[in-house]
Amino acid sequence: MSKKIQSALISVYYKDGLEPIVRLLHENGVNLYSTGGTQTFIEEMGIPVTAVESLTGYPSIFGGRVKTLHPAVFGGILYRRDHEGDIAQAAEYNIPALDMVVVDLYPFEETVASGASEEDIIEKIDIGGISLIRAAAKNFKDTLIVSTRNQYADVLALLTEKGCATDLEDRRTYAQQAFGTSSHYDTAINNYFLGTGEDIYNFRSLPSQTLRYGENPHQKATYYGDLDAMFDKLHGKELSYNNLVDVDACVGLIDEFTEAGPTFAIIKHTNACGIATAATAQQAYLNALACDPVSAFGGVVITNTKVDVATAEELNKLFMEILIAPGYEDGALEVLQSKKNRILLQRKPTALPGEMFKTILNGVLVQDKDLATETAAQMTTVTEKAPSEDELRALEFALKVCKHTKSNTIVLAKEDQLLASGTGQTSRVDALRQAIEKAKAFGFDLNGSVMASDAFFPFPDCVEIAKEAGITAVVQPGGSIRDKDSIDYCNANGVAMVTTGVRHFKH
């Protein structure tokens, strides 16, 4: 049922975007109630507002810890407008109805992230605000709750369209979002006291974006999170579900190369079909593209360096869905924007969660992200022949790519360039043969190249095939009861092998 808003309580920490809502409410004859800084903000707009203290008979006390916690306020929110007993009690105690509550919460998570003292952090645990949110959400039949500044634009549009009225479904939707806000806030506080990091699993309280569809057109999909905090979208169409999955894979891979020179990676269905590091951005891109120019068509490209005009001109020759870079030089964007649907993202520094989760069966699996990256210092030579310095650098490169490729996988590389990979195979031998075939198809000479495996070799067949293809050095976790068979073959055939003790399955 449609309900006209006649009174509203507004008490917020952040005032950005609030003014248009206040003006709209005033223009529609809504009585406004407020507290503290928000009351001053409204008064400075020249709009009449009633102080909450005039309802409660109490000033803000205990350093602002108690302002709205009073029956005159919560009664006005919670009393049922269709309940004779509630109506009579509201009249008896002179409690005005509050049809709308606009409140946001003290910035607890931001205060924790700032490194503030515990005293300051504790003071940012909101009591009145969270109580107002829950009360208004509970009584959604009568009260509209606006629980975060992220809703201001949508609320303004809704109230403008409906003349400051809402229907039951509107109020129910905002109530659901309010309980999500409350849950997320309490979880953040709980995590602080537990000493754990940011909670990403209460995702429905995060900003959301409805996607055109999911992995396939018959599947619905929504993204929960603040993409604007991570990327500036400079050009192109909206990101799809599959785009976002590939972007996530791109970010994970390129972050392995933060200390490297100019690096480009090309991703297709979350696997790298090309990646290379070179002296210039242009050469890095061309080397990455050379790995598999067929799979690169329609892929997602990411780099760790600013895109210059010369590189942009090369990139513009490829049909790609998305390009991600930390920056673009003058003139480069103009070249790349010539394709109207191509998505151009500029990445911004953003802290990412250290855990990942997957819904499975009737529950959820949670695990730490695979943040282990083995360098030459963590590689143990297990053969008589040790890898050369060039081979060690190539093995490091190959292992970084291997870690981000679907299992079972084998990665073939030389220093600073992927040559080929076998991805997502049920047999490691099949993965190796696939990689060798692809490398040869695109004209790569595998003599002197290196091989990385995400898991150990249960039999010597992989090193036998690798030797025949010209591979001279191998990195693998080790740990098979038959490691000796592979090591013996390498010793007999002049192949260097190192182990890391760390497996990198990726499913």
Catalytic residues: 138, 269
Beta strands 473-476; 450-453: pairing state: parallel
Closest CA to 417 of 255, 292, 268, 244: 292
CA 261 to the chain's CA centroid: 25
The set of long-range contacts for 419-428, using a CB threshold of 8 Å and a minimum separation of 24, is 419/291, 419/444, 419/446, 419/449, 420/291, 420/292, 420/444, 421/271, 421/272, 423/271, 424/271, 428/453, 428/455, 428/457, 428/462
Token representation of residue 94? 């002179």
In b/e form, how buried is each residue of 366-397, taking b as 16+ CB within 10 angstroms?
eeeeeeeebeeeebeebbeeebeeebbbbbbb
Q: Where are the beta strands (DSSP E) in 385-495?
A: 410-414, 417-422, 450-453, 473-476
Distances (CA, A) of 233 to 195, 270, 346, 436: 35, 21, 7, 38
Interatomic CA distance for residues 138 and 468, integer angstroms? 71
Q: Is the peptide bond before 408 cis (omega within 30 degrees of 0)?
A: yes
Q: Where is 250: in which H helix or E strand? A: helix 241-254
Token representation of residue 265? 């990676």
The angle at the Cα of 427, spanning 469 to 375, to the nearest 5 degrees, equals 65
Q: Establish how many alpha carbons lie within 13 A of residue 252's alpha carbon, considering only the half-sphere containing its beta carbon.
A: 26
Interatomic CA distance for residues 252 and 348, integer angstroms? 14
Q: Identify the DSSP state of 239.
A: P
